[in-house]
Structure 1
Amino acid sequence: MPSSASFQCITLSLLILPAIVLALYFLTSFPHAPDTLLVNPSLASLPKHSRSWQIYPEDAFAGGAYVSLPLGRTRYWLLGPEDGIKIVLIHGLSVPALIWKEIAPRLAERGFRVLLYDLYGRGYSDAPQTTHDASLYTTQLALLLQYIGWSGANICGVSMGGAIAATFAVQFPHLVQGDIALIATAGVLEASDMSRTSRFLSSPLMQFVTSSVPFRMYLQHLASNVSRIDNPSAELVRIQSAHLPGYNPAIASSIREGPVRALSPVFAQLGRQLRKRAKDGAPAGRVLLVWGTKDTVVPYRYSARVKSLLGEDTASLVTLDGAGHDLTLTRGEEIAGKLEAFFNGQDVKE
């Protein structure tokens, strides 16, 4: 008859052995194939009589086309002469390329070759159900540039688009052949600087709720029973939120995990990168910051922080007195003039 100690050893082995076998099975088994990526539709899926087609038609700019990228279709436009200086315009968090309507045509008329497009989850670009972080958007732009045959360009972004532009310049420096303009750029906002409403709406729970069918039906009911508003951009945001199932999750993910905050290291890296290029004798590229003093979304005080991160010798700041966060719409002609001078190699003064 086995001793008590032997009996305990046998019992322990019988308890441990199945756990070891199970662990080895999971460690050595082949992983399951990933599920098919869900891609939600864009504004192009709405009926032609929808209000969105009046505010922001598919042909809002000349030279429009679609490209099918791995994570969904992207809508883009190419304006201006083919031999003009190349500029990419990147919009921000919630309003698609409509935000450039006062600037893109003016730059094209002044001889620039302008590329603008809708980010994933906004406007006429599809909304992949994935994490909407900085790398998603920089990869989208890199693939788009490859598709249209551009080996490089000047880059200009507004709000979240500025943070995307800075990240793109760090991740794909060979594709930025020229200068960088950042208009009221996001990227350095900390969670404590954001409103409680923004933090609440971007939480995983609210992301699930706002993407649900009942919630969107409720928003559609509100949108159909509320009179039109004087601000087309705000109305377009409301329409996207109510009718596009991928829009609210894209916004929430961009706030929580995307290029809205915590990118101070990126701006610092961009400054070091540009200074190193200058030290090595290569065309270094310059950075222009444009900011409004009445900006309540990305307050003007952040301009000094971004400029400090980039380096005083790398970045210059143009202050627009009295301008808010919608400065590309309200001060479009003035900003277009600043960008024209800057991308033509001139020093831009306030």
Structure 2
Amino acid sequence: MALYHQTVDFLSDSWANQRTQLPLLAVSGASFTLGLLLRSILSARESTQTVIPSPRARILNGISEEENDNLPLPNDVLPGARDVASPYGSIRVYEWGREDGPKVLLVHGITTPCIALGGVAHALVDRGCRVMLFDLFGRGYSDCPADLPQDDRLFATQILLALASSPIAWTGKDSGKFCLAGYSLGGGIAAAFASYFPQMLSSLVLLAPAGLLRDSQISFQSRLLYSRGLMPENLLGYLVGRRLRAGPLVTPKPGNRKLNVADALTEELPSQTAGEIQLLSRDYPHVNIPAAVAWQVNNHSGFVHAFMSSMRHGPILSQRQYNTWARLGEYLSAQNSYSSTNRGEKGLGSDKVHILCGNSDAIIIKDELIADATAALGGNVAFKFYEAGHEFPSTKYEDVATYISKLL
């Protein structure tokens, strides 16, 4: 989420600087246009791909065990790794824990592979749970379907494909249902999925969720990524990729309501503070989110496409998702109004949606979240706030796991 705002404002900053160099632009305009034309021609073949492969085959093929161990994102970074073939490309899934334990499916955010929730997953397994994580399309070791929008439909399909790949039952009469927990973009994905398939879930936990982000938080320049035709698609992809590869520039300024310039890239990238241990992979203690994201940007050819498509079509903005959340709220209200003598099984075992967030989150603003989520869900919501920012699931994973386990 954070990377998006920084990317588009990088473009606007560049244009602002260019306005002071109009004579130079006038001279170089023709050659620049020719360069764009050549880039468009050279990129035409790539744009016709239906599936952009992950780095799995190219990087992992033939490497030694030692080389794998030293990768920023090792092939077996989490237990129970498997690659699931699908018509949309291969999906990387991780699943481990007691087979008879309460089940929790974790869905990560827009920029990070699922290792960002590795700490939460390990802590839940310590509490007797069965956990499943997967890399969203275009992240980590999952392929990227290049000819489909990354929207509610694609994300719901990916969840169902991941569930169906398990050796144990996650759905159906004897499955015991499962808790669905989503972080950032994954929170919006989880809310949308729950609005269509509440009968599959025992509970719904949203961690700093996207889905109800107000339009007022998005700068005018940022809306470029939502609009096709204003810039050549290949050029926009090139500039976005270049900005993503640059990494974080500054620390977000507190109290900045409308994210712009380089404020937000650090939001999903936790900083390591003195005395604080962030152990996301117990087999590979060196693994951290900034290095994994940088590796992903440089090695996954589908990441930039997935990032831009998620911003354009994904469950992020309130104007696109409010009705989805309202549908979920109406379902919970109807379920909670059933008479105590009604013997029908609840669709969503928990009577509320549980939303966890950081008090200093610069992406998901606390006061706006409380007001908008309460209204959309008809009051069927419980909140928990931590002294942290948007990155809290990767730094306070023991606290998050304790909260989820109590629901189970």
Work out whether 1:164 is the aligned partner of 2:229: no
**Shift in Å at residue 74 of structure 1?**
0.6
Aligned position for 1:40: 52
Q: TM-score, normalised by structure 1?
A: 0.77
Aligned position for 1:317: 383
**Shift in Å at residue 182 of structure 1?**
0.4
Work out whether 1:340 is the aligned partner of 2:357: no
Distance 2:70 2:310 in 1: 25
Distance 2:355 2:245 in 1: 41
Amino acid at match of 1:247: F
Q: Secondary structure at the match of 1:235?
A: helix
Matching of residues 141-290 of structure 1 within 5 Å: 141-148=159-166, 149-151=169-171, 152-176=177-201, 178-196=202-220, 198-201=222-225, 203-204=227-228, 205=231, 207-211=233-237, 232-261=288-317, 262-280=320-338, 281=342, 282-283=345-346, 284=348, 285=350, 286-290=352-356
**Shift in Å at residue 59 of structure 1?**
1.0
Amino acid at match of 1:252: M
Distance 2:100 2:383 in 1: 29
Work out whether 1:329 is the aligned partner of 2:394: yes
Q: How many residue pairs end up in the alignment? A: 299
Distance 1:206 1:99 in 2: 33
Given the superposition, is the C-alpha separation of residues 209 and 234 from structure 1 closer, same or farther in structure 2, using an over 3 Å criterion? farther
User: Is the contact made by 1:90 and 1:97 (CA closer than 8 Å) also made in structure 2?
Assistant: yes
Distance 1:172 1:68 in 2: 23
User: Is the contact made by 1:137 and 1:164 (CA closer than 8 Å) also made in structure 2?
Assistant: yes
For 1:104-149, what per-residue CA distance to the aligned partner results, in whole angstroms no more than 9, with x for missing partners? 0110111011111111111111001021111110111012222324
Given the superposition, is the C-alpha separation of residues 335 and 115 from structure 1 closer, same or farther in structure 2, using an over 3 Å criterion? same
**Shift in Å at residue 61 of structure 1?**
1.0
**Shift in Å at residue 240 of structure 1?**
2.5
Amino acid at match of 1:241: V
**Shift in Å at residue 302 of structure 1?**
3.2
User: Is the contact made by 2:194 and 2:328 (CA closer than 8 Å) also made in structure 1?
Assistant: yes
Distance 1:132 1:179 in 2: 25
Distance 1:260 1:164 in 2: 9
Distance 2:49 2:368 in 1: 37
Q: Secondary structure at the match of 1:142?
A: helix
For 1:267-298, what per-residue CA distance to the aligned partner results, in whole angstroms no more than 9, with x for missing partners? 11111112222334432423111010111122
User: Is the contact made by 2:245 and 2:297 (CA closer than 8 Å) also made in structure 1?
Assistant: no
Work out whether 1:138 is the aligned partner of 2:156: yes
Among residues 278, 291, 313, which one is paired with 2:357 in the alignment?
291
Distance 2:243 2:204 in 1: 38
Matching of residues 24-173 of structure 1 within 5 Å: 38-48=50-60, 54-129=71-146, 130-148=148-166, 149-151=169-171, 152-173=177-198
Work out which structure has the larger RCO, using CA pairs closer than 8 Å and 6 or more positions apart in sequence: 2
User: Is the contact made by 1:293 and 1:319 (CA closer than 8 Å) also made in structure 2?
Assistant: yes
Q: Secondary structure at the match of 1:72?
A: coil
**Shift in Å at residue 37 of structure 1?**
6.0
Q: Name the % identity.
A: 30
Distance 1:78 1:134 in 2: 23
User: Is the contact made by 1:289 and 1:303 (CA closer than 8 Å) also made in structure 2?
Assistant: no
Amino acid at match of 2:179: N
Q: Secondary structure at the match of 1:238?
A: helix
**Shift in Å at residue 258 of structure 1?**
1.1
Aligned position for 2:39: none
User: Is the contact made by 1:91 and 1:158 (CA closer than 8 Å) also made in structure 2?
Assistant: yes
Distance 2:213 2:244 in 1: 31
Given the superposition, is the C-alpha separation of residues 230 and 330 from structure 1 closer, same or farther in structure 2, using an over 3 Å criterion? closer
Q: Secondary structure at the match of 1:101?
A: helix
**Shift in Å at residue 159 of structure 1?**
0.5
User: Is the contact made by 1:211 and 1:246 (CA closer than 8 Å) also made in structure 2?
Assistant: no
Given the superposition, is the C-alpha separation of residues 220 and 242 from structure 1 closer, same or farther in structure 2, using an over 3 Å criterion? farther
Q: TM-score, normalised by structure 2?
A: 0.67
**Shift in Å at residue 336 of structure 1?**
1.3
Distance 2:164 2:51 in 1: 22
Amino acid at match of 1:251: F
Q: Secondary structure at the match of 1:54?
A: coil
Q: Secondary structure at the match of 2:149?
A: coil
Given the superposition, is the C-alpha separation of residues 194 and 68 from structure 1 closer, same or farther in structure 2, using an over 3 Å criterion? same
For 1:3-26, what per-residue CA distance to the aligned partner results, in whole angstroms no more than 9, with x for missing partners? xxxxxxxxxxxxxxxxxxxxxxxx
Distance 2:57 2:236 in 1: 19
Given the superposition, is the C-alpha separation of residues 146 and 51 from structure 1 closer, same or farther in structure 2, using an over 3 Å criterion? closer
